[in-house]
């Protein structure tokens, strides 16, 4: 995602599902050991040798990962969490910016060590990847037209509505399951989505409540709102890495747990989410 307009705060539709894990099976013969066998290098071994952690993120998802206004500096809630994790592990960090649809593939093929971009923990992904301890808890909402809420009260009202976003997101999948018509976008900025809702090209965009609230507040001239009562899909986000990389996972978890316990993640959250602490589970009534 390198097309972000740096003067516009952007949110993108997270939840891409990509790739499958290739598992190597080593067969041993008749109890006989081979002293020449070499232990395969783990990601953690390589990270330690190189002294750096390579992380995929979008650079276009406000406030998780974006470029500060009038600056090339990459920042955001998850960017700063990754920086602090690397610091606590005595590592440098290198960011690789890419679209959400490419991140999990890059993790799987070893092009990056980890990815963080408001990536939801789902059962399907847990079968293919490893996750850190979660550090953000949220739920799904929708941006709709201000005058009529796009005719939506519950998820059942999505039948026939035009829902915008990326094809592979969890939120788009939820929309399609409830009868919404997909309108697929590539890598566009917030104002494109919100203006298309305002002008009727879209009826809604389904996404994370906190991200949508901040996006709408950042563009008050566009006549859209976050739906006042629609709440669904309680979810948690975390750093994602290759399956079975237990050493890397353990070290990252140790740093995350320290940061949760000493209030660091709460402080970072309040900086990027207008005072909200997303490390705590929200107290809302969720639609089943």
Task: Give the pLDDT confidence of 228-248 residue by residue, as tens digits.
Answer: 999 999 999 999 999 999 999
What average pLDDT score do residues 253-266 get? 98
Do residues 79 and 218 both lie within one domain? no
pLDDT at 16: 34
Q: Is residue 187 part of a domain?
A: yes
Which pLDDT score is estimated for 15? Answer: 39
Same domain, yes or no: 195 and 63: no
Q: What's the mean pLDDT when you consider all of the chain? A: 86
Torsion angle of the four alpha carbons 179, 180, 181, 186, in this order, in degrees rounded to the nearest 10: -130
Residues 195 and 166 in one domain: yes
Q: Are residues 188 and 55 in the same domain?
A: no
pTM, two decimals, is: 0.76
Express each pLDDT in 89-143 by its tens digit.
999 999 999 987 789 999 999 999 999 999 999 999 999 999 999 999 999 999 9
Pull the structure tokens for residue 29. 């013969």
Using pLDDT thresholds of 50, 70 and 90, give the confidence band for residue 2: very low
Are the C-beta atoms of 49 and 250 separated by less than 8 Å?
no
Residues 132 and 241 in one domain: yes
Q: Give the per-residue pLDDT at 126.
A: 96
Nearest to 130 by CA among 41, 222, 248, 18: 248
Tell me, yes or no, whether 169 and 247 share the same domain.
no
Q: Report the DSSP pairing between strands 114-115 and 240-242.
A: antiparallel
- If one compares 99 and 206, the residue with the highest pLDDT of the two is 206
Confirm whether 287 is domain-assigned: no
pLDDT recorded at residue 110: 95
């Amino acid at each position: 995602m390198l097309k972000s307009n740096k003067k516009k705060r952007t949110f993108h539709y997270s939840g891409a599902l990509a790739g499958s894990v290739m598992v190597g099976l080593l067969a041993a013969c008749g109890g006989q050991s081979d002293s020449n066998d070499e232990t395969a290098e783990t990601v953690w071994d390589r990270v330690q040798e190189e002294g750096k952690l390579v992380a995929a993120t979008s650079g276009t998802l406000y406030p998780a990962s974006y470029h500060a206004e009038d600056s090339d500096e990459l920042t955001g809630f998850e960017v700063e969490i990754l920086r602090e994790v690397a610091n606590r592990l005595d590592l440098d960090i290198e960011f690789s910016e890419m679209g959400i649809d490419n991140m999990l593939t890059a993790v799987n093929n070893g092009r990056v060590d980890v990815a963080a971009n408001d990536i939801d923990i789902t059962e399907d992904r847990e079968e293919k990847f490893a996750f850190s301890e979660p550090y953000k808890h949220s739920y799904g909402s929708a941006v709709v037209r201000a005058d009529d809420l796009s005719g939506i009260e519950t998820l059942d009202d999505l039948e026939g509505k035009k829902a915008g976003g990326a094809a592979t997101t969890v939120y788009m999948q939820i929309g399609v399951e409830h009868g919404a018509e997909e309108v697929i976008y590539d890598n566009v900025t917030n104002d494109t989505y919100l203006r298309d809702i305002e002008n009727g090209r879209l009826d809604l965009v389904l996404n994370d409540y906190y991200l949508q609230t901040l996006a709408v507040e950042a563009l008050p001239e566009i006549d859209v709102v976050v739906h006042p009562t629609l709440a669904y899909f309680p979810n948690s986000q975390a750093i994602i890495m290759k399956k079975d990389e237990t050493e890397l996972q353990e070290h990252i978890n140790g740093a995350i747990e320290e940061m949760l316990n000493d209030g660091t993640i709460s402080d970072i959250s309040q900086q990027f989410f207008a005072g909200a602490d997303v490390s705590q589970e929200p107290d809302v009534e969720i639609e089943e």
